[in-house]
Amino acid sequence: MYQRYRRLVIRLEQALRTSEARLHSFFDATPDALLISDAHGTITMANQQVEKLLGYVAAELVGKSIEDLVPNRFKASHPVLRSEFTASPRARRMGNGMAVKARRKDGSECDVDVSLSRIETDEGMFFASALRDISERKRKEEELRRQNGVLSTIFQSFPGGITLFDADLRLVAFNDQFKALLDLPDVLFEQPEPDFETLIRYNAARGEYGPGDPEQQVAAIIARTKKFVPHKIERVRPDGTSLSIRGVPLASGGFLSIYTDITDRKQSEEQLRIAAAAFESQTCMIITDANRVIQRVNRAFIETTGYSAEEAVGQTPRLLQSGRHGADFYREMWETIHRTGAWQGEIWGRRKNGEVYPKWLSISAVVGTNGRVSHYIGTHNDITERKKAEERINALAFFDQLTGLPNRTLLLDRLKQTILSSGRSDSHGALLFIDLDNFKTLNDTLGHDVGDQLLKQVALRLTHCVRDGDTVARLGGDEFVVVLANLNTNDKEAAQDTETVAEKILATLNQTYQLGHVTHHSSASIGATLFKGPLIPIDDLMKQADLSMYKAKAAGRNAVRFFDPSMEIAVKVRAEMEDDLLRALAEKQFLLHYQAQMVGERLTGAEVLLRWQHPQRGMVSPAEFIPLAEETGLILPLGHWVLETACTQLAQWAGRPEVAHLTLAVNVSAHQFRQNDFVDQVLGVLEKTGANPQRLKLELTESLLVENVEDIIDKMAALKHRGVGFSLDDFGTGYSSLSYLKRLPLDHLKIDQSFVRDVLTDSNDASIARTIVALANSLGLGVIAEGVETEAQRDFLASSGCHTYQGYYFSRPLPIEDFESFTLTAICSSCPERTDPKTCGCKAFVSLMSQLKSESIITNEN
């Protein structure tokens, strides 16, 4: 029995040893370092892999604390973590453990992945720790992070947008420029890998792909993309940005897309296209190199000059010189180009056939990237026809068609200049009114043709009686005027000089005339008055000379009579008027009247006219106080008040539909316009009052164009850019060069009422009116006729192409209350008794409101 038990024990011990040996074999064979520790962290067992990983022989670790394998910086916290794990039922499988640092026998550290398992036995609780060396993995992860960092830097520094989609069309990489170029919100990228469809749907929903069904757009784009073929497209975003999108498929599936902002390139291409089109326009163009050798010409140049491209290229522009300009002219022209980079002006050119013609030439220097001139571009237009038109208009506007003498318009201007000149030189001038005696009898007996012959011969004789600096003009009928300039500074001597000239005129005119087959004897009566400076208004001077002439006739004709002006009275009157003007400004005696401007039968606006309600004299005409205001400088505060009051009225009208569309035309004096800050003044008034700039029209006179034209153009352009319109008032009464007309940013020419008044009876006035309309049409400008007083005048103007009118036929200048009442009549002519147009339901009012809205003149908010 004992022996049997003994053999059993021996077999059991052998089995146990075999099992332990097999366990140790398995324990040592595992690729990971294995440690068994008790609940206190004491190592009870270790396998052979520990030596390879940590440098310890397995037996060395038995009895050591697990903390001995923990780096010093973690030792304090490790027992706490171990205790927490001991109390926890958790266990970590190998390969799914914690990445930690372990301390080797030599004190160095290594990266290990630790998996812990709890083992419960009869002897107590133990823990199995599996340590796997992950140093190589960590190295590769660090290398990957470094590479990803480099790739990220490349992505983010790329000037365009970049996206990387995988084979499932998930966005796995992109840069900030991609989001910025497509203006994509951050919310789209909150999920780790937003898909392609999400981004496309967002873009389609906000109209990124233009009009159309968003669902169809999304389906088409996704279908095209899933083909994974190289592609390049260009499209314009809603904000106007042009994008180039290039897609490159990847071997592993998916694709890389590059987004480039090509807006600047597209604009440059468009500019080149426009430049190419402009080069082949109707304007002659020539391009030279920096040495002024012709490189290229366009078809218009060939057609205008007669030179072929082959004949012109390689030559210099001297080929086109007319010979009418000297070396000084060209030297100054090129000095201007070198100084400012451009020049323009009228110049004479010569065609291949030798014909000399006027042209408007512009030359611009082209500066290269090196800052030096690389080319010159010259453009010119043949202005032969325009010059002829100018000459015709000039002749019609300023010269008498029968005698060729200056007419009333030119006379008044020359008289004004002579008056101003006499004031500066402190010398006298003289005004002579000449009326032929018994001229009516000649006309009645021998006919108007004979009378016209006499007038022509009288005009010729008068021009031989005066100096080159003097003026001989015909007022009309048998009335002539002579203006003598630069007479003596002494009153008596100036009067004697004037009398000498007048007697010479009498003697010359008191001769026989051969009028066809008729020999006629004639005489004249002359009235004269002296002036020195602008002390006496021109109208008063004219009246003085006219009255003196009648005194000469009363004295028996063929005589000269002088007016004896009282200088003291004139100075007193002027001083009193100046004091009254100052007081009127302070006491707000000025008010505005409004005269309607009509397009056909439709009221479109009004001209603002200044009135002076004098406490003693009543309503004072602007003709009496405006010249004085100009001379004294009071026109500046007065003009500013007019502008601000008009703009305030526009702002008030803006909220009333029946008048919101109306414009107001404000006259601006040359003194106002020439102020350096005039543009700022106007813009300041518009901002202060809240008036719409497009409802404000400024009226300028031709006298403004006598000097500093470039400054005038710049100021007009600045205001035009903000919406302010411009009219040239009293067109045809000045004598400035019409060559500036095409450069001025005008909207309208206004035919002066002096031409409209006799348009039905005076062929000259009728021709002038038609010519002004034709000129305006050729320049793309509108025309407004002033002083329309009859239906017949209106009809004549309409038949001549002028459809905008102002005058008593439609309405007198009215105070604001009366003008606003007039607007009701103008709008609702069928029901003038209405006082509240906002409730008006008549067809006229409803039709007007509909038309104004359709033309965007008013909106529903008005």
Every domain of the chain and the residues it spans? 31-138, 158-268, 281-387, 403-563, 588-825
CATH superfamily of 31-138: PAS domain (3.30.450.20)
Six-digit token string for 667: 């006259």
Q: What per-residue confidence (pLDDT) applies to 261?
A: 85
Beta bridge partners of 363: 343, 378
β-strands 804-806, 782-786 pairing: parallel
Amino acid code (one letter) for 365: A
Q: What per-residue confidence (pLDDT) applies to 841?
A: 47
Collect all residues with Cβ–Cβ distance below 8 Å to 539 and sequence separation of at least 6.
623
Q: What per-residue confidence (pLDDT) applies to 120?
A: 79
Q: What per-residue confidence (pLDDT) applies to 27?
A: 66
CB 50 within 8 A of CB 58: yes
- Which residues in the chain land under pLDDT 70? 1-9, 11-13, 15-29, 80, 82-97, 148, 269-272, 274-281, 564-574, 706-707, 732-739, 828-862
DSSP state letter for 170: B
Tell me the C-alpha distance between 229 and 248, whole Å.
Answer: 7
Q: What per-residue confidence (pLDDT) applies to 344?
A: 93
Q: What per-residue confidence (pLDDT) applies to 567?
A: 35
CB 836 within 8 A of CB 824: no
Tell me the C-alpha distance between 274 and 277, whole Å.
Answer: 5
Alpha helix (H) residue ranges in 158-205 = 176-182, 196-205
Q: What per-residue confidence (pLDDT) applies to 386?
A: 86
Q: What per-residue confidence (pLDDT) applies to 218?
A: 86
CB 156 within 8 A of CB 60: no
Tell me the C-alpha distance between 54 and 106, whole Å.
Answer: 8
CATH superfamily of 158-268: PAS domain (3.30.450.20)
Cβ atoms < 10 Å from Cβ of 401: 13
Amino acid code (one letter) for 10: I
β-strands 663-667, 696-701 pairing: parallel
Q: State the Rg of the chain over Cα.
A: 50
Q: What per-residue confidence (pLDDT) applies to 564?
A: 63
pTM to 2 decimal places: 0.40
Q: What's the helix, strand, coil split of the chain in %, to 5?
A: 45, 25, 30
DSSP state letter for 254: S
Sheet containing 109-121: order of strands: 43-46, 33-38, 124-133, 109-121, 98-103
Tell me the C-alpha distance between 71 and 68, whole Å.
Answer: 8
Q: What per-residue confidence (pLDDT) applies to 15?
A: 60
Does this chain's domain 281-387 share its CATH topology with 588-825? no
Q: What per-residue confidence (pLDDT) applies to 368?
A: 82
User: What is 588-825's CATH number?
Assistant: 3.20.20.450
β-strands 725-731, 696-701 pairing: parallel
Contacts by residues 134-141 (CB-CB < 8 Å, ≥ 24 positions apart)? 134/99, 135/110, 135/111, 137/111, 138/99, 138/111
The Cα-based distances of 582 to 412, 579, 593, 614 in angstroms read: 28, 5, 21, 12
CATH architecture entry for 281-387:
2-Layer Sandwich (3.30)
Residue of 797, 841, 405, 437 whose CA lies nearest to 599: 797
Tell me the C-alpha distance between 659 and 835, whole Å.
Answer: 13
CATH class of the region 403-563: alpha beta
* Total count of residues recorded for the chain: 862
Q: What per-residue confidence (pLDDT) applies to 44?
A: 86
